[in-house]
Amino acid sequence: MEPFVTLTAPAVPLDIANIDTDQLLPARFLKKPRSAGYGNFLFHDERKPGFPLDDPAYAGARILVSDRNFGCGSSREGAVYALVDGGFRCVVAPSFGDIFAANAAKNGLLTVTLPEDVVASLRRQLQATPGATVTVDLPAQSLTGPDGRALSFAIDPFKKDCLVEGLDDVALTLRHRDAIDAFDRTDAERRPWVVPGRG
């Protein structure tokens, strides 16, 4: 996974709450292999005239600033593939679907959670000055909008480490193999009914 450290890029505002993963990646594309180019499927059915992602003023956007509950709904990781393959590295919103946010972190897509009024102000600035850039500094946990104000954001330290270092967490987990083996041995005695067919 590509590490995420700092990013300065144009940002595109999307004034829509509850953007679900069906909108990000319509279900009919779920059977496509990743090599099919998931970026082409991003917001496929929302691409109507006036949709900000198609506005040339926001060309080259790598940061998406949206509204509450971004990425709610289905657990499809393809929604993250569509954003990443479509060029995005960061989404800013007042809240995220939990599964989406977990999937994003596994694919080098940073989700930044900021208060609702702060995110609304960012969207207004981007609407007023289309093509303006936003800077994200993950180690410093800081985001700077078009108005030059540095905003600090919270992030889970584990998620931050994985993103900054581009870690594959299976490799990390396998360092705990002895603990997993020990858990399994103890649990087999404590709850023998867990494995079907042993009872």
Question: Is residue 130 part of the contact set for other proteins (CB under 8 A)?
Answer: no
**Binding segment toward other proteins, per CB under 8 A, in 5-13, 55-63, 96-104, 130-138:** 96-104
**Binding segment toward other proteins, per CB under 8 A, in 24-32, 55-63, 126-134, 137-145:** 24-32
Question: Is residue 72 part of the contact set for other proteins (CB under 8 A)?
Answer: yes
CA geometry: angle 50, 122, 55, nearest 5 deg: 20
Main-chain phi, psi angles of 150, to 5 degrees: -85, 125
Q: Which of 60, 147, 154, 158 binds other proteins (CB under 8 A)?
A: 158
**Binding segment toward other proteins, per CB under 8 A, in 2-10, 57-65, 70-78, 128-136:** 70-78
For residue 19, CA distances in Å to 23, 25, 65, 71, 96 come to 7, 11, 12, 6, 9
CA 110/CA 91 separation, integer angstroms: 6
Question: Is residue 154 part of the contact set for other proteins (CB under 8 A)?
Answer: no
Q: Strand pairing of 142-144 and 110-113?
A: unpaired
Main-chain phi, psi angles of 109, to 5 degrees: -100, 115
Binding site for other proteins (CB under 8 A): 15-18, 20, 22-23, 26-28, 30-31, 34, 45-46, 67-69, 72-78, 80, 95-99, 102-103, 106-107, 120, 156-158, 161, 169-170, 173-174, 176, 179-180, 183-184, 187, 191-199
